[in-house]
Structure formats: C-alpha cells, structure tokens
Amino acid sequence: MKREREDWTRLYHKMLKGIEAMIDMQRMAKDLKKIAEETNMMITEMEEMILTASINNQMVNTMNITQISEDL
C-alpha cells in the first residue's frame, strides 16, 4: 500500500512538473508574441517615415529641376 502511494506521489509530482513546463512555454510564447507585435509596430512606423522622406525628396528634386530649367 505504501509503495503504491509513493508511486502515485511520484507520478503526481512528475505531472506537476510537466504542467509547470507547459505554463512556462505558454508565458514565453505570449512574451514572444508581444515582442513581435511591438517590432511590427516599429517597422510600420519606420516604413511611414521612409515613405514620407521619399515623397519629400521627390518634391525637392522636382523643385530643383524646375528651378534649373527656369535658370537656363
């Protein structure tokens, strides 16, 4: 009887360890998802800045070309 109880106790503790490991993995996955979302937001902001800079650059180039044409 005592041996059977010890076996069940070992099995119980082994199952608890497994559950704890799964919980840790879920936490890590949740943290990774949060980091990925933040990174995606930063990339989107960078793309917007690059697009704005590109548009501004095109406008400056157009104005420069127009000015050169007028000067000639």
What is the C-alpha to C-alpha distance for residues 51 and 60, in angstroms, rounded to an integer?
14
pLDDT digits (tens, 9 = 90+) for 9-28: 999 999 999 999 999 999 99
Between CA 9 and CA 22 the distance in angstroms is 20
Which tokens sit at 64?
């420069």
Note the helical H segments in the chain: 2-71
Residues constituting the chain: 72
pLDDT tens digits along 38-62: 999 999 999 999 999 999 999 999 9
